[in-house]
Structure formats: structure tokens, C-alpha cells
Amino acid sequence: MLPSKVDLCVVGAGTAGAALSYFAASQGLRVLCLDRRALGGAGARWVNGVSRSDFETVGLDLPKGDELRGEDTAFHLTIGRGPQRLTLRDHGVLEVDMRHFVRRLQTLAKEAGAVLVEHVTVEAVDGHMVRTAEGEVEATVIADASGLRGAGVLASRPVRRDDLCAAAQSVFAVADPAGARAFLDQHGVAEDETLCFSGVAGGYSILNVRVAHGEVGLLTGSIPADGHSSGSRLIEAFVAEQPWVGERLFGGARTIPLGPPQPVLARGHRARIGDAAGQVFAAHGSGIGPGMQAAKLLADTLAQGGTPQDYATQWMRTHGGVFAAYDCFRRFSQRRTLEDLRTLFRTGLIDEPGAAAALGQRLPEPDAALLARVPAGLWRAGPGIARDLAATASRMIAAMATYRVYPRSGALQPGWSRLAARLDR
């Protein structure tokens, strides 16, 4: 039986929806959260890299026990299968078993008084009424946290096929420890460290390998619309070539929406967060931290008597520019060949401070060393890459400026959306 009336109805009990339900219920709102799947199957079901600061910013305890599979492990980024490489340490990224983390968020939400109901699909939203096969609910505010496809709570700008990243992550047993050691030795990597082969299937693609505690985690992502193998295929191919990889233990595959944030995050009493809002950090397809931060902002705004539009304006003005700017850079990287990536590395245009900033979801500091290095790097990279990078940099600057003036008024949004769409290509 669904409650007949609530303050907030959340569609989706993945990271974003469960976090929103928790933050809102713990501030006294009557919250109903619906998921079409079993609660134990909602949201991400694999291992994700999430910055420690994402937990700290929203006031959640850091993962520990089964939830935490690694922290601050050295991250070796290689171009293709090498030999060029840079290594990031103390980057603050935690390896989180999302099955346990999503359950923690759902449990916190229930303990705070939210009602979470599984196996209920939201079929339509009509005014303040949320319609499902199990009945309808009247909600003062309706929040869409239903992931990539959205639940029709707000009209969406369609996501282009070449903005879709086919990602997969699976954990396998190590069947032959000596074989695993030989692989790590061959690449100069220790157990517990992450080896990231970039550009293995197009400029925007990775294959991450991390061997730890008798298991190996494989994470892949690529853009199939550009003619490349999907993340799942990349994992299959790696497993086929490495006989030391044993039985698959768990994991999953899904499509991550890249592209800039959806231009409309709220309208009237409706809002969206997480993948449904395009709040994904496009440089590496990360949506967990952004979804949690949007959830906290929306919950705080509503609890303090604000409107969904207040949340939308604040999120867009504070975070939208960085997300849209990095999406411009993502498109630049997507246009690159493996040879281009090698050139960028050789000329210092891919370097440790830049990679660390991208991992930390912030723009690099334009210090004197960077400003001195870039012109020389562009000169050495040649006119094709230099022209594209210069155009990308100017779009990134324009994105920062455009999102800073995201309109408060819904009436001005169509004009702003047209302006923002021009950053897109």
C-alpha cells in the first residue's frame, strides 16, 4: 500500500535517489521513494571510484569494511598498452563496492523515516499525482532520480548516441596467482595498484586492471557510436587473452550519459538529479559524487522552504560550468587517435597536474608553469591538434561563463538553452 500524500516522491532508489530520500527525510520531510527493481538490485551493482571529498562534502561517513575495496591506490595511466605512463598517488579516490554503499544509503533513508518501496514502476506524472500500477500518490515535490532514461517527470533533451559511454565493471577471481604476478611485473605495477590503459578503443576509452586480495577488478568504457567495441566486449577480450583471470564474481554493464547537464533541472514542483539530470562528470563518466551532491542540495533547499528551481539555479551556477567545460574536453579526447594521445603525452599536454585535476573533478590551476608549457606543447603537437585544442579551450571558457548566468526564471530558460547548445559542438 502506497501512502496517499507525501512531501517528496523520489523516483529511483539508486545512489542519487536513496541519498535524496535520506537527506530529505532526516530534515523532517515525508518521503516516498519508488524503484521498479528490488531494492537490493537498485542503482550501481559494481565497484566505482568515488572521491573521499564527495562523502565529506555531503556529510556521509567514509566507506569501510566490505564497502571499501581500496583507497588512494597508485593510479598508473598509460597511453594504449604503454610504454608512456604517468602515475597519480594520494589522489583521494576510494574503490567502493556500490552494492553495499547503495544498501547503506537505503538503510539510512529508512531509519530517517523515508518509505522505500520496491518493484513499483512510476508510469506517469500528472500534475502533483504520481501514477503507478500499485496506485497513485500525491506529492508536493516529485524528483526524478531514475537514471539515464528518465521517468518522464520532466521533458529531456535527447542524449546523442555519440554522447553515450558503454561502460562495464566486473570482479573476477585470480585463477593463477603466478600468471597475475607476471602480468603486473610486465607492466611494472604492484598488487593493489590500478593500471589504466587509455585509448584502447578510441580516444575516449579505458581499460583499468586492479589485482588485489586474490581478485582482479576490470573497468572499461568506450563510445560504440564511433565504431568501437563496447565496455563489455573489451572485458571479454581481455579475459580471453589473460588465462590467469578466473571465474567472474560480480559486476555489471550499463550506458553512462556523457554530454553537458540537462538544461532544465527543475520546473514548478518537479526536479531531477543524478544520471537523469546528466550530472555526470564527462571526463571519466563519474556520476556517484555529483548525484550525491545534487541530492544534498535539493534536500537542503526543500527543507529550508526553497523551490526545485532554487536548487536548479544553484547547482547550474555552481557546478554546471565545470561539468560542461569538461564535456568539451571529453569531446576533444573522443576525436583523438591513439597516435594523437601519444603526441599529447610527449609534448606535455597530458601531464600529472592535468590528470590529477580531472580525477578530482576540477579545472587545472592556470599557474606560470602551465602557461609556459602549453604554447610550446601546442607548437610541438602540430597544427591539427593545436587548432582543435585551442577551440576546445575557448569553448571551455565560454561554458564556465554561460553556466554562471543560468537564469532563475523558467521563462528565460529556452533562450539560455539555445546559447548553451552552441557550446555542444
Ligand X SMILES: Cc1cc2nc3c(=O)[nH]c(=O)nc-3n(C[C@H](O)[C@H](O)[C@H](O)COP(=O)(O)OP(=O)(O)OC[C@H]3O[C@@H](n4cnc5c(N)ncnc54)[C@H](O)[C@@H]3O)c2cc1C
Q: What are phi and psi for residue 160, nearest 5 degrees?
A: -65, 150
Interface with ligand X includes 359 (CB under 6 A)?
Answer: no
Using the 8-state DSSP alphabet, how is residue 106 labeled?
H
Interface with ligand X includes 43 (CB under 6 A)?
Answer: yes
Interface with ligand X includes 143 (CB under 6 A)?
Answer: no
- Residue 31 bridge partners (DSSP): 8
Which one among 73, 106, 156, 169 touches ligand X, defined by CB under 6 A?
Answer: 169
- Complete DSSP assignment for 242-311: -TTEEEEEEEEEEEEE-SSPPS--EETTEEE-GGGGT--BTTTTB-HHHHHHHHHHHHHHHHTT--HHHH
Which residue number, 80 or 152, has a Cβ lying nearer to ligand X? 152
Q: How far is the CB of 196 from ligand X (least distance, A)?
A: 11
Binding residues with ligand X: total (CB under 6 A) = 41
CB-based burial label for 106 (10 Å; 0-12, 13-18, 19+)? buried
Interface with ligand X includes 37 (CB under 6 A)?
Answer: yes
Q: How far is the CB of 418 from ligand X (least distance, A)?
A: 26
Q: How far is the CB of 239 from ligand X (least distance, A)?
A: 15
Which residue number, 174 or 294, has a Cβ lying nearer to ligand X? 294
Binding mask 279-318 for ligand X (x = CB under 6 A): -x----xxxxx-x---------------------------
Interface with ligand X includes 70 (CB under 6 A)?
Answer: no
Interface with ligand X includes 34 (CB under 6 A)?
Answer: yes
**Angstrom distance (rounded) from CA 130 to CA 152:** 11
**Angstrom distance (rounded) from CA 356 to CA 362:** 9
Residue type, position 321, single letter: G
Quick one: which segment of 43-51, 195-203, 260-268, 342-350 binds ligand X (CB under 6 A)? 43-51
Which cell numbers hold the place of 203?
Answer: 580516444
Report the C-alpha dihedral over residues 20, 26, 27, 31, rounded to 10 degrees. Answer: 60
Interface with ligand X includes 151 (CB under 6 A)?
Answer: yes
Interface with ligand X includes 97 (CB under 6 A)?
Answer: no
**Angstrom distance (rounded) from CA 224 to CA 228:** 5
Instruction: Find, among 323, 253, 217, the residue nearest to 44 by Cα.
Output: 253
Q: How far is the CB of 411 from ligand X (least distance, A)?
A: 28
Q: Which residue is nearest to ligand X (CB)?
A: 287
Interface with ligand X includes 146 (CB under 6 A)?
Answer: yes
> How many helices (H) and strands (E) are present in the chain, helices listed first?
13, 18
Interface with ligand X includes 49 (CB under 6 A)?
Answer: yes
Residues that bind ligand X (CB under 6 A): 11-17, 34-37, 42-44, 46, 48-50, 121-122, 145-147, 151, 167-169, 219, 253-254, 256, 274-276, 280, 285-289, 291
